[in-house]
A = this chain, B = another copy of it.
Amino acid sequence: MAPHLDTVFAALADPTRREILRMLLEDDMAVTDVAEPFAMSLAAISKHLGILAGAGLITQEKRGRVKWCKLEPDALKAASVWMQGFGQFEPVNLDAFEAFLERELGAEPFDTP
């Protein structure tokens, strides 16, 4: 039951893969460009991307000789919902909720520098 969660959480457990996701948050990228800032081989990054794609967190589309990587944030939904099942035990956690609101609605607090 819920084999997706296995692969999604496992994919998120690696800092390199989380950083790749963060990069893809800004824009779609080619494999070579994804690999550029990392101090490891292109093949290693290619494997990481394969794992992210296997978890559904990204999709890859080959256009010409370059393969474009696109973030698929909806794949985080099931994991997020699963985690929310533990929210009932938290005292209130309104601060996290406010941060969430700020990000979602773009409502910046007054004291922002």
Contact surface of A with B, Cβ cutoff 8 Å: 1-2, 5-6, 9-10, 12-15, 18, 21-22, 25, 71, 73-74, 76-77, 79-90, 92-94, 96-97, 99-100, 103-104
Contacts and interface: CB of A to CB of B under 8 A. Distances in A.
Nearest to A14: B6
B80 A83 contact: yes
Contacts of A90: 73-74, 77, 104
Q: Say what secondary structure dominates the interface of chain A.
A: helix
A34 to B, nearest CB: 17
Contact of A100 (B2, B18, B76, B84): B84
Given A5-B13, A10-B10, A74-B90, 11 more contacts: A2-B18, A9-B9, A10-B13, A13-B13, A73-B89, A79-B83, A80-B84, A81-B96, A84-B99, A87-B103, A88-B104
A89 B21 CA distance: 12
Contacts of A83: 76, 79-80, 83
Contacts of A22: 85
